[in-house]
Amino acid sequence: MATATQRIEPRPVRRVLIERRRYRWTELRLLFLPAFFMLLGLLELQVVQSTEAGATTTTLPPLDAYVPAFGLIAALVLTHLALNIIAPDADQVLLPIAGTLATIGVLMSLRLGPAVDNTALGVKQLVWVVLGLGLCIATVRFTRNLDWLRNYKYTWAIAGVALVAITLVNGIVFKHSFTTSGPSRDVLYISFLGFAFQPSELLKILLVVFFAGYLSENRAVLALDGYRFGPLNLPPFKHLGPLLTVLGVALLVIVGVRELGLAILIFGLALSMLYAASDRPMYVVTSLILFAVGALALYTLFPYARDRVSIVGNAFDPGTASDKGYQIVQGLIAFASGGVFGSGLGLGHPTFVPAATTDYIASAFGEEFGFAGILALIGLFLLLIYRGMHVAANARDDFNKLMAIGLTAVFALQTLVILAGNLKIMPLTGVPLPFVAYGGSSVIANFIIIGLLLRVSQADG
Amino acid sequence: MLPDVNSIGPFGFLFILRIALVVLLYLVILQVVAVARRDLRRAAAAPAGAPRSGTVVGHLVVIDSGSTPLVPGSRLALDPLTTIGREPTSTIVLDSNFVSGQNTRIYFKDKSLWVEDLGGKNGTVVNGQRIQAPIAITPNSEVQVGDVRFKVTP
């Protein structure tokens, strides 16, 4: 915040140098290693390819094979330069961490593309990352003042729910079976652009904005006692009305398109933000009771949800392991076969697992980079979440704070839900691993979230 | 120049590469943690080290003196930590029945001024809104303590 107070205040010279140095050197320095990682990873892929082709001589990989690597590095550096101009005081660690994760994503797509008969997969993912970085910059640029986001909070919430509702209507119109086994993907095809995206990815962000706007205005009331019910202290439902309505409608629509993972995500999101805003454990208790009721209802309603739950217990049973539990068992085998340091990028067989590029990207990564690699990946996610909370702690008002908490919770919950699903700790749901899993909507939405976090961390509006 | 794949043997070279990749990931983590640690240290050192008491970090200009004998238009200096209240130990003493003993605190943190309400009956109003949590103020913000209104100036 470029207050005039800065000018009149005498400080030691060194401090002034640190404060006045506007160039984002830390960010640039942190981008160096991910770039090196990308180049080295691509080199390994090329060497593996040439050894498999029988060329054991010094046939060096052709330089044009490095286009994806240089493209990604250039995009990251350009984003860094743009941030220098439009948000010089924004957090300098968020972009490097997101960039590292996106690098891993592009590298895995490049590696898995040929194995799943889609050589363009890596390039496609690269295009999504570049688009995402562009939208991240646009987000930082055009949300100069986050207040207008808050002022239109109901509009955002309705728009988000409506987008997902379109896919629900589509499903009914095209007689997409609602009672049968599998979960559907809420994909919205915009046919005249030849373009498809998942509106639910956008819904997450819009709901965070709504919750942050509503809760920041009603914080004081929510912290009060509501009704006493025996030993329980129930929240003041009257003031929670709009919030519960939006949450309820969103959950109904999501359950309508049968994205149970997303439902868990949205519910967890609302709960974290409610708790952060009110600082009352009673909300957690009440919500968990509601969650149990809802989960039980869905369990009885959807046969495939019952399958998913039972698989956690009996995946290795004969009969299950080769049928319904096939994916999860193969995934665990992939993790196990990686050992401590992994089979090496390009040297494993990650495509034995169905959906290795999306839902099971973690097992593909775990097989080729090993236990050490998976630990590093989880470490990177932890740092991303730490940084999001750091931004929240330093935010200038309640709305910014709550928004940063909500956006960070999106990353945290998604990582938790999909990794726990992959490792057979909880029922598997199709939530993408942020930045790493292949998928345009998810990568772009995640970079928009990074853009919003950067905007919150740039203190002056 | 890339090393000769043949001379080390293809799998020897690949072995080095794959270990290097995992090690690189850890180096990224190490670097980020180092930056985070530096941030935390600087934040911890800031309240003690940054603006020494006695330096003036800004001023409050009285707009409406309410029931106090202050003269509208007079400028009051802000220390890095300024307390406002009716008690004589406050940095700025406001002798008014609408002001609590310890009403408001204004302090300098993270390159800006923050206002915090200390729980008085009439609270603290910043730019027309009663504050619940510390809030950052900019020049020209309006701060109302009890029935006294100030404008923040450099």
B93 φ/ψ angles, rounded to the nearest 5 degrees: -90, 125
Quote the longest CA-to-CA distance of chain B.
Answer: 90
Which of A100-109, A149-158, A209-218, A364-373 shows the lowest per-residue confidence on average (mean pLDDT)?
Answer: A149-158
Please tell me if residue A461 touches chain B, with a CB cutoff of 8 Å.
no
Please tell me if residue A54 touches chain B, with a CB cutoff of 8 Å.
no
Cα of A9 to nearest chain B Cα, Å: 6
Confirm if B124 and B103 have CB atoms less than 8 A apart: yes
Partners of B133 on chain A (C-beta within 8 Å) are 398
Q: Has residue A70 got a pLDDT over 50?
A: yes
Residue B119 to residue B133: CA distance in whole angstroms: 10
- ipTM metric: 0.80
Please tell me if residue A342 touches chain B, with a CB cutoff of 8 Å.
yes
Please tell me if residue B136 touches chain A, with a CB cutoff of 8 Å.
yes
* % of chain A exceeding 90 in pLDDT: 19
- Chains A, B: CB contacts within 8 A come to 151
Cα of B146 to nearest chain A Cα, Å: 20
Enumerate the H helices of chain B as residue ranges.
5-8, 10-49
Check CB contact under 8 Å for B31 and A30: yes
Mean pLDDT, rounded, for B118-129: 83
Confirm if A176 and A170 have CB atoms less than 8 A apart: yes
Cα of B76 to nearest chain A Cα, Å: 14
Q: Has residue A103 got a pLDDT over 90?
A: yes
Residue A30 to residue B146: CA distance in whole angstroms: 49
Check CB contact under 8 Å for B18 and A347: yes
Residue A440 to residue A444: CA distance in whole angstroms: 6
Check CB contact under 8 Å for B50 and A19: no
Q: Exposure string (b/e) for A126-149, b if CB count within 10 Å is 16 or more?
A: bbbbbebbbbbbebbeebeebeeb
- How many residues does this entry show for chain A? 461
Q: Which residues does residue A170 pair with via DSSP β-bridges, in sequence order?
A: none
Predicted local distance difference test score (pLDDT) of residue A8: 44
Please tell me if residue A50 touches chain B, with a CB cutoff of 8 Å.
yes
Handedness of CA A38, A42, A45, A51 (dihedral sign): negative
Chain A residue with the nearest C-alpha to that of B136: A396
Residue A457 to residue B154: CA distance in whole angstroms: 23
Cα of B67 to nearest chain A Cα, Å: 29
Please tell me if residue A68 touches chain B, with a CB cutoff of 8 Å.
no
Split at pLDDT 50, 70, 90, the class of A216 is: confident
Check CB contact under 8 Å for A93 and B32: yes
Interface probe for A, chosen from B17, B53, B116, B132 (most Cβ of A below 10 Å), is B17
Check CB contact under 8 Å for A369 and B21: yes
Check CB contact under 8 Å for B6 and A57: yes
Please tell me if residue B12 touches chain A, with a CB cutoff of 8 Å.
no
Instruction: Give CA B134 to chain center in angstroms.
Output: 9
Predicted local distance difference test score (pLDDT) of residue A215: 87
Partners of B17 on chain A (C-beta within 8 Å) are 40, 43-44, 47, 344-345
Residue A71 to residue A80: CA distance in whole angstroms: 14
pLDDT tens digits for range A344-383: 787 878 778 887 778 888 898 999 898 999 999 999 999 9
Residue A75 to residue A291: CA distance in whole angstroms: 42
Which of A102-116, A238-252, B92-106 shows the lowest per-residue confidence on average (mean pLDDT)?
Answer: A238-252
Higher pLDDT pick, A175 / A33: A33
Q: How many CA atoms lie within 13 A of B45 on its CB side?
A: 9
Nearest to A383 among B29, B58, B132 (CB): B29
Split at pLDDT 50, 70, 90, the class of A238 is: low
Residue B48 to residue B52: CA distance in whole angstroms: 8
Q: How many CB atoms lie within 10 A of CB B97?
A: 12
Partners of B10 on chain A (C-beta within 8 Å) are 47, 51, 56
3-state SS of A3-43 is: CCHHHHCCCCHHHHHHHHCCCCHHHHHHHHHHHHHHHHHHH
Cα of A374 to nearest chain B Cα, Å: 9
Interface probe for A, chosen from B1, B16, B29 (most Cβ of A below 10 Å), is B29
For residue B97, give every residue at least 6 positions away whose Cβ sits within 8 Å of its Cβ, in sequence order, or none: B67
pLDDT tens digits for range A221-231: 776 655 666 55
Partners of A34 on chain B (C-beta within 8 Å) are 28
Which residues of A, range 202-241, sit inside 8 Å of B by Cβ?
219-220
Q: Which residues does residue A188 pair with via DSSP β-bridges, in sequence order?
A: A197
Handedness of CA B33, A131, A204, A185 (dihedral sign): negative
Residue A273 to residue A254: CA distance in whole angstroms: 19
Paired tokens of B102: 């310890």
Residue B36 to residue A275: CA distance in whole angstroms: 26
User: Of A445, A460, A409, A348, whose CA–CA distance to A108 is shortest?
Assistant: A348
3-state SS of A390-408 is: HHHHCCCCHHHHHHHHHHH
Chain A residue with the nearest C-alpha to that of B33: A383
User: Of A220, A308, A151, whose CA–CA distance to B117 is shortest?
Assistant: A220
Please tell me if residue A41 touches chain B, with a CB cutoff of 8 Å.
yes
Split at pLDDT 50, 70, 90, the class of A234 is: low
Please tell me if residue A96 touches chain B, with a CB cutoff of 8 Å.
yes
Predicted local distance difference test score (pLDDT) of residue A151: 81
Q: Has residue A1 got a pLDDT over 60?
A: no
Predicted local distance difference test score (pLDDT) of residue A136: 92
Split at pLDDT 50, 70, 90, the class of A412 is: very high
pLDDT tens digits for range B15-50: 788 888 889 999 999 999 998 888 888 877 765 444
User: What's the burial of B40, exposed, middle or buried (CB within 10 Å: 0-12/13-18/19+)?
Assistant: exposed
Mean pLDDT, rounded, for A164-179: 63
